[in-house]
């Protein structure tokens, strides 16, 4: 049996993997089409969307960790309270 922390780590890893698949698969499909000789427009809205998804992959991971780990949430609260000392009890909560 996996304890609660192990289960949480597995769920988080699965969320990161799913985010990676969703964000990067269109890039690979676009590249395969391009390398296969299909006439693709590199300036099209689809190309821009695919590129944006690829960059979004590097942005979503902190949000996944923030949503899943209480220790990460406490660290963010601590960091924010040091940046803005007038709000010692900042209310940051992520609900999943």
Residue-by-residue DSSP string for 10-38: HHHHHHHHHHHHHHHHHHHHHHHHHHTT-
Q: What is the pLDDT of residue 87?
A: 53
DSSP, collapsed to helix, strand or coil, labels residue 96 as coil
Instruction: Tell me if 92 is assigned to some domain.
Output: no
Q: What is the pLDDT of residue 25?
A: 92
Instruction: Say how far apart CA 60 and CA 65 lie, in whole Å.
Output: 9
Instruction: Tell me if 93 is assigned to some domain.
Output: no
Instruction: Tell me if 91 is assigned to some domain.
Output: no
Instruction: With a cut of 70, list the residues of the chain below it in pLDDT.
Output: 1-2, 84-96
Instruction: Tell me if 90 is assigned to some domain.
Output: no
Range of the domain at 68: 4-83
Instruction: Say how far apart CA 64 and CA 47 lie, in whole Å.
Output: 26
Taking alpha carbons only, the member of 62, 45, 51 closest to residue 24 is 51
Report the number of distinct structural domains present in the chain: 1
Instruction: Tell me if 51 is assigned to some domain.
Output: yes
Instruction: Give tens-digit pLDDT for 1-24.
Output: 568 778 888 888 899 999 999 989
Q: Is the pTM of the predicted complex or chain greater than 0.85? A: no
Q: What is the pLDDT of residue 65?
A: 79
């Amino acid at each position: 049996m996996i304890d609660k922390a192990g289960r949480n780590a597995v769920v988080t890893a699965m969320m990161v993997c799913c985010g990676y698949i969703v964000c990067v698969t269109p890039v690979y499909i676009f590249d395969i089409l391009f390398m296969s000789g299909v006439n693709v427009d590199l300036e099209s809205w689809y190309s821009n969307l695919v590129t944006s998804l690829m960059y979004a992959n590097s942005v979503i991971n902190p949000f996944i960790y923030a949503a899943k780990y209480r220790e990460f949430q406490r660290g963010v609260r601590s960091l924010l309270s040091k940046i803005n000392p007038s709000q010692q009890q900042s209310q940051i909560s992520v609900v999943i």
